Amino acid sequence: MRRIGLVLAAALALLAGAEAKAQGRLPIFDCHVHYGQNDWAPYPTAKVLELFDAAGVPRVLASSTPDDGTLMLNKAAPDRVVPILRPYRSGVTSSNWFNDPNLAQYLEGRLQAGAYKGIGEFHLFDPNSADTPQVKRVTELALERDIVLHVHSGAEPVRRLFAIEPKLKILWAHAGMSEPPEVVGSMLDKYATLWTELSFRAGDVAPGGKLDARWRTLFEKYSDRFMIGTDTYVTPRWGNYVDLVEEHRQYLMQLPRELAEKIAFRNAVRMFGGGNLAGLN
């Protein structure tokens, strides 16, 4: 009897595997790509697009320092690369952008010229950095243009941004990087226009490759609010790009297909456009 049970279990596992195969590789909309100046020579745009193909990534959200990298990538594949505008450039960095006297002029000029769907990724390490006239202007620009802010910060700076303007749409980078699932859940609960992407969190979401029960509960409860990202913030990340995507796909495959597809690409498509990617691999 036990032997028959084992055979049956093995057969069921095979069937499940076959079903997953029939559904095809889960496409990933990578919501955290940077294409910074150091990447351009070792990874020309054609090579980056090959990596997207190899990783099963039909669409990305991209920003860079300087912004020209984003524009190059977007020009190489306009249907594939959704550009967002980073405040950083020569002399303006993650630690001083919020006090940059020329910020408004720079952002307004670029936003007028380009098809940006957001501003970011920018960092707010200290919550008080959110309380400058420059940041206030950034929130106004986002609202005027109905575009998203891609914010790398803990929970408190996100609260400050929503205090400035409750109607903001915020894509919270790295789900707060080190914020525990309880905090991520309470933020999603409190702010209806907060979304989050999971770059750098695969180790927390699925320690040892197994999806953590608390994160699974969050994914079920806030199924429309999670997205996937890799964060190619330094050049060596491109060398690992396929693996970086795969570590997310691996835990998504432990969810029901419908939920996995929402987090993998449907939520991002709803926010940034791109049609139905389900047929792509």
- List contacts with Zn ion (CB under 5 A): 152, 173
Instruction: Name the residue nearer to Zn ion (CB basis): 26 or 117.
Output: 117
Cis peptide before 66 (omega within 30 of 0): yes
Instruction: Name the residue nearer to Zn ion (CB basis): 88 or 272.
Output: 88
Instruction: Name the residue nearer to Zn ion (CB basis): 107 or 173.
Output: 173
Give the whole-angstrom CA distance, residue 187 versus residue 155: 7
Instruction: Name the residue nearer to Zn ion (CB basis): 138 or 173.
Output: 173
Q: Which residue is nearest to Zn ion (CB)?
A: 152
Q: In terms of C-beta distances under 8 Å and separation of at least 24 residues, what long-range contacts does 278-281 make, across chains too?
A: 278/27, 280/27, 280/58, 281/24, 281/25, 281/27, 281/56
Instruction: Name the residue nearer to Zn ion (CB basis): 158 or 173.
Output: 173
Instruction: Name the residue nearer to Zn ion (CB basis): 59 or 152.
Output: 152
Contacts of 42 (CB under 8 A, 6+ apart): 235, 238
Distances (CA, A) of 243 to 51, 74, 104: 11, 23, 38
State the minimum distance, in angstroms, from the CB of residue 92 to Zn ion.
16
Select from 244, 242, 263, 243 the least CA-distant residue to 253: 263
State the minimum distance, in angstroms, from the CB of residue 47 to Zn ion.
23
Distances (CA, A) of 245 to 89, 115, 230: 28, 26, 6
Instruction: Name the residue nearer to Zn ion (CB basis): 152 or 255.
Output: 152
State the minimum distance, in angstroms, from the CB of residue 275 to Zn ion.
27
State the minimum distance, in angstroms, from the CB of residue 231 to Zn ion.
6
State the minimum distance, in angstroms, from the CB of residue 5 to Zn ion.
48
The neighbour count for residue 21, using CB atoms within 10 Å, is 9
State the minimum distance, in angstroms, from the CB of residue 89 to Zn ion.
17
Torsion sign over Cα 165, 171, 177, 178: positive
Give the whole-angstrom CA distance, residue 133 versus residue 42: 39
Both tokens of 212, joined, read: 């953590």
State the minimum distance, in angstroms, from the CB of residue 19 to Zn ion.
36
Residue type, position 245, single letter: V
Find out whether 218 and 172 touch, Cβ atoms under 8 Å. no
